[in-house]
A = this chain, B = another copy of it.
Amino acid sequence: MKQKITLKEISRRFNVSISTVSKALKDSPEISEKTKEIIQAFAKEHNYKPNNIALSLKNQKTKNIGIILPEIVHYFFSSVITGVERLATEKGYNVIVCISNESFDKEVINMQMLANGSIDGFIMSLSKDTEKKQDFHHINEVINQGMPVVMIDRVTDKVNCDKVIIDDFHGAYSAVSYLVESGRKNIALITMPDYMSVGKLRTEGYKKALIDAGIQVDEDLIVKVEDFYSGFEPVEELLKNHNVDAVFGVTEFFAVSAMKIAQKMGKTAPKDISFVGFTDGIISISSSPSLTTVSQHGEEIGEKAADLLIKRLEEEDFELRPYETEIIKSSLVKRESTQ
């Protein structure tokens, strides 16, 4: 069984037309039973499968969906892909993954590449760069060309499209409220710069929870860290100079890193300091003590995004429906780092 076989080759083999072969293989009633039988048998034997590219060109749809993510080596984003992939495969779609690497330029290039016919629609989360720049022309362009886009997690209201997000504000609110209820008073926050939409919302949730509990927000207890790779000295300073009894980190990595620093300073979690993170990944499970976190349900976000996208692609009436913003509920997973 060498090389893929085509309709043309089958048609030559039996001295019939390509149309006849095509119809025979689709078991069309137009074709005689006898012809269908021999053609189908031959096709099966030679493992004939229609060429996807030809079908795409003919049908004007590729059955591919593109997903553009800031990075992938990260529990949240890889679980989003897992969710997208599952739903997509179930519906007969392939998933093309591009990584913007937090760069605006790469995000634009990736979108343009895929938009030239390779896919039917996009799922994407903004790069940091893009959030900083606030330039979304590439996304709006694609949408104007009639290609549906679903934004997830890091979204913007400058683009009108379907969105799937979690309730960052409430997730943070409930995490901090939980700390307050367990008797903590000096709750520090380790967050991201404000241009990151999710960092901002989680910070607001933190503040609101304190205010509602009658605790004054102390800006000295708030540290902003750029990303995973920048240093954590400010956190060290914070723990050294302030009498902190709880830390809320807006990522699990932030929380665990803070916990490690505290442990090195001789503090015990949760006895001396409680810790809560965001994103319920493998870090939270394997840290010691294991970390209480706000679970983002990445797979669910991915599935929901794929579902919205495919509906818009396939359901006649859906295409014209107003855009939705689906909010996936986060949940607090309590572990050993709090009491």
Contact = CB atoms under 8 A, between A and B. Distances in A.
Interface in A51-70: 51-54, 56-57, 62, 64
Interface string A247-264: 000000100110110010
Contacts of A94: 96, 98, 113-114, 118
A167 to B, nearest CB: 22
Contacts of A256: 286, 288
A133 to B, nearest CB: 20
B82 A99 contact: yes
Contact of A73 (B75, B95, B113, B114): B75
Given A79-B73, A85-B99, A287-B286, A54 B3 contact: no
A106 B144 CA distance: 36
Interface in A31-87: 47, 49-54, 56-57, 62, 64, 71-75, 78-79, 81-82, 85-86
Interface string A131-169: 000000000010011100000000000000000000000
A193 interface: no
B89 A82 contact: no
A282 interface: yes
A283 interface: yes
Contacts of A62: 53
12 contacts: A1-B145, A2-B144, A47-B141, A53-B56, A53-B57, A72-B81, A73-B82, A85-B97, A89-B110, A260-B288, A282-B283, A283-B286
